[in-house]
Amino acid sequence: MALILITGASTGLGLAAAQTLAAAGHEVVVHTRSIDGLPDLDLRGSVHGDLSLMDDTAVVAEQADTFGRFDAVIHNAGVYRDPGALQVNTVAPYLLTALMSKPRRLIYLSSGYHLDGSTDLDAIDFNETRVRPGAYEDSKLYETALAFAVARRWADTVSHVVDPGWVPTRMGGPGAPGDLEEGHRTQEWLATAPDEAIEPRTGGYWHHRRISRSHPAASDPDFQHELIGRLEAHTGVKLG
């Protein structure tokens, strides 16, 4: 059985993945913003902190490391039209990736909207405090590029990206047309399937267990290098 951390697991896809994986007998550690949001599941444990705050995110990384090396970390937490889109969707997964002990597998949740993200990195303001049109799209492009950068850099850690689709969660809204069940199955599979069942081994962009198209910039080593440099400068933490 695998030891798995899921961020943003109090509701939506994160909660659904935690329920399924815990029911299958895996050792699940969930992240929630506060202990009040802890789901009623048979868990290995929990970590807590506000991922819109860098100090809180660093504390989440410290808490997570007390459980030892994870078999998989599912970076599920995210916000949509929110002033903290870049902070929660890009900076937080970057910090957790850089600060935690390297897991065996990393799974980042992106979105088909990342295809509309801007490649103008000079325009990034990680500290923005207003809802900016396009911020969500940008944040998911950057998260996708981060995942692919990790896949290139870390030989002993598998890194994949999942587009779960537009599904009826609190973030997606009740009218979302996607299949909620399918929305969490791929990340569970990537976290637990035998190595030989996953092809490509690392660096895949997945939708419903099939490789899908990602933004060309996300796979560009130069774009990745510049993005990581800006994240390192903003956080004061190197990816390694």
Active-site residue list: 136, 140
β-partners of residue 31 are: 47
Q: Judge contact between 93 and 143, C-beta under 8 A.
A: yes
Q: Judge contact between 66 and 119, C-beta under 8 A.
A: no
Spatial separation of the C-alpha atoms in residues 156 and 134, rounded to whole Å: 34
Instruction: Give how far the C-alpha of residue 154 lies from the chain's centroid of Cα atoms, to the nearest Å.
Output: 17
Closest Cα to residue 39, out of 60, 65, 21, 64? 21
Spatial separation of the C-alpha atoms in residues 218 and 228, rounded to whole Å: 12
Residue 103 burial (10 A CB sphere; 0-12, 13-18, 19+): buried
- What's the token pair of residue 69? 């090396």
3-state secondary structure of 132: coil
Q: How far is CA 226 from CA 53, 61, 127, 141, 203, in A?
A: 23, 24, 18, 13, 19
